[in-house]
């Protein structure tokens, strides 16, 4: 069995080979960081199972005299991942960075490293300390509610985050522990004045009332207050409907996207945009697509276990099918794994699929390169607005073909993965062209009534 640290560096070489780094400079940087850390471990004469905080502090102290702060943080990230690898291989007992993060409930590993670099690490670590999840007087009620709803088949992840934030507030204000839940919620609502916070407080109040009613049916259910949600709705941004010229500009930019180290990325982004605009797919659905979900012979895409646990098979038009054929051929020539369970959109960093966060970052960058979105901030068109544009353009095509869109709304709701047409109606943004088509349809429908009315008057 191998032990670490090893003088010949075979374990570091095996770890770097697992990462499959393609850039030679990256391999040099990784090896330099890991070698320097291993040298400190060897000098301190620690056994392979005894890597602890003291070793980290010595390495950070010595490295800070050699590397810039940004470089040191990057190397610390490399060492942190290497320590996770050593834990997986049973070469060390635990990762001290992960241990400190769990002890202080810190938000990130980088925050732990910054604290260890501070003049007083203990004080800096203490400043990072977060409250443990669900440690308030209402923790049992919240946990039971989450377990109950998840047992009923709901994901209940968003609601769990609401409970977690309310729980942290209660732990920070122990003087409220003897107060009724209504008083606790009043203090929490007063903590922030934003409309979103008020709406979240109302949702938590309703969820807690339902949890209490489930435990004690004699308690009266809480009457919902729609005003906070209405206030949030007034602040919603109006969806941006992309014109065909703007979509063409986005596709051209994606085709020419600069990516010298990842040659497959431009055509990947191009295909993502095509599927988002032509099929109305969500970013999460793009990220979860597998190679086996594409059937070019039948011309369909299978979307599995997405929002509301719904799966659906989408027939595709010729243009997205053509884009998929071109992408799959480029994917094959790039010698990407052809396993049916592999991610459809693959990148060479770590031999993994694109995450929804990575897809969003790349597509937002394309919006900015096209001049449709400012260089910073959350203002301007969104990627999700392509889904709105898909709905509006589909309804326009039905109008032009003489089809009543109202008869087709259930089919459109199924195609989009909605539970009913009420969710689809949110996507129907009234544009000038859509209003003109609707007016023309009504004129054709009611013109004989107008003529009959004029005849009666004469």
The fraction of the chain above a pLDDT of 90, given in percent, is: 66
Q: Is 282 a catalytic residue?
A: yes
**pLDDT (tens digit, 9 = 90+) per residue, 34-69?**
999 999 988 876 555 578 899 999 999 999 999 999
CB atoms within 10 A of CB 199: 19
Q: Hey, what CATH class is 244-380 in?
A: mainly alpha
Per the omega criterion (within 30 degrees of 0), is the bond before 5 cis? yes
Distance from C-alpha of 345 to C-alpha of 353, rounded to nearest angstrom = 6
Write down the pLDDT at residue 453: 55
Active site residue: 101, 265, 282, 382, which one? 282
**pLDDT (tens digit, 9 = 90+) per residue, 166-198?**
999 999 999 999 999 999 999 999 999 999 999
List the chain domain ranges: 10-128, 139-234, 244-380, 388-457
Residue 99 vs residue 9, higher pLDDT: 99
Q: Which residue stretches of 346-431 are H helix?
A: 356-369, 385-400, 405-416, 421-425
Write down the pLDDT at residue 23: 78
β-bridge partners, 303: 312
**pLDDT (tens digit, 9 = 90+) per residue, 400-448?**
888 888 899 999 999 998 888 888 888 888 788 877 877 777 677 666 6
Write down the pLDDT at residue 305: 78
**Cβ proximity of 328 and 294 under 8 Å:** yes
**pLDDT (tens digit, 9 = 90+) per residue, 246-298?**
999 999 999 999 988 888 999 999 999 999 999 999 999 999 999 999 999 99
Q: Is the pLDDT of residue 350 over 70?
A: no
Q: Is the pLDDT of residue 458 over 60?
A: no
Q: Is the pLDDT of residue 218 over 70?
A: yes
Determine phi and psi for 294, rounding to 5 degrees.
-100, 125
Q: Which residues contact 17 (CB under 8 A, 6 or more apart)?
A: none
Active site residue: 222, 307, 312, 369, which one? 307
Q: Which residues contact 423 (CB under 8 A, 6 or more apart)?
A: 413, 416
- Tokens 């920070």 identify what position? 172
Q: Is the pLDDT of residue 454 over 70?
A: no
Q: Is 230 helix (H, G, I), strand (E, B) or coil?
A: helix
In this prediction, residues 80-98 reach a mean pLDDT of: 92
């Amino acid at each position: 069995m191998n032990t670490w640290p090893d003088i010949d560096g075979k374990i570091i070489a095996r770890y770097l080979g697992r990462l499959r780094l393609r850039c030679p400079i990256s391999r040099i940087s990784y090896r330099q960081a890991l070698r320097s850390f291993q040298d400190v471990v060897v000098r301190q004469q620690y056994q392979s199972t005894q890597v602890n905080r003291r070793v980290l502090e010595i390495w950070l102290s010595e490295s800070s005299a050699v590397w810039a702060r940004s470089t040191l943080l990057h190397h610390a990230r490399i060492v942190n991942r290497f320590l996770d690898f050593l834990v997986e291989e049973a070469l060390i007992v635990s990762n001290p960075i992960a241990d400190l993060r769990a002890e202080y409930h810190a938000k990130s590993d980088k925050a732990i490293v910054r604290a260890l670099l501070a003049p007083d690490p203990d004080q800096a670590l203490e400043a990072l300390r977060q409250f443990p999840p669900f440690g308030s007087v209402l923790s049992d009620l919240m946990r039971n509610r989450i377990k109950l709803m998840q047992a009923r088949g709901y994901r209940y992840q968003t609601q769990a985050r609401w409970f977690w934030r309310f729980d942290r507030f209660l732990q920070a204000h122990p003087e409220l522990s003897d107060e009724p839940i209504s008083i606790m919620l009043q203090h929490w609502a007063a903590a922030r004045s934003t409309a979103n916070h008020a709406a979240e407080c109302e949702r938590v109040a309703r969820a807690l009332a339902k949890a209490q009613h489930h435990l004690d049916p004699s308690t009266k259910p809480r009457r919902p207050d729609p005003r906070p949600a209405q206030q949030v709705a007034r602040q919603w941004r109006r969806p941006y409907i992309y014109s065909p010229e703007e979509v063409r500009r986005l596709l051209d930019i994606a085709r020419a996207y600069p990516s010298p180290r990842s040659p497959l990325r431009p055509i990947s982004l191009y295909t993502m945009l095509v599927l988002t605009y032509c099929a109305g797919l969500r970013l999460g659905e793009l990220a979860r697509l597998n190679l086996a979900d594409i059937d070019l012979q039948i011309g369909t895409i299978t979307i599995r276990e997405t929002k509301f646990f719904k799966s659906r098979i989408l027939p595709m038009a010729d243009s997205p099918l053509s884009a998929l054929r071109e992408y799959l051929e480029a994917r094959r020539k790039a010698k990407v794994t052809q396993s049916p369970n592999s991610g459809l959109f693959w990148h060479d960093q770590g031999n993994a699929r694109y995450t929804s966060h990575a897809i969003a970052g790349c597509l937002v960058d394309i919006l900015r390169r096209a001049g449709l979105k400012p260089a910073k901030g959350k203002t301007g068109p969104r990627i999700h607005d392509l889904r709105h544009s898909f709905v509006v353009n589909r309804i326009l095509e039905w109008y032009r073909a003489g089809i009543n869109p109202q008869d087709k709304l259930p089919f459109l709701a199924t195609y989009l993965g909605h539970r009913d047409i009420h969710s689809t109606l949110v996507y129907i943004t009234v544009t000038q062209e859509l209003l003109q088509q609707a007016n023309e349809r009504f004129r054709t429908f009611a013109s004989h009534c107008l003529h009959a009315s004029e005849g009666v008057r004469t």
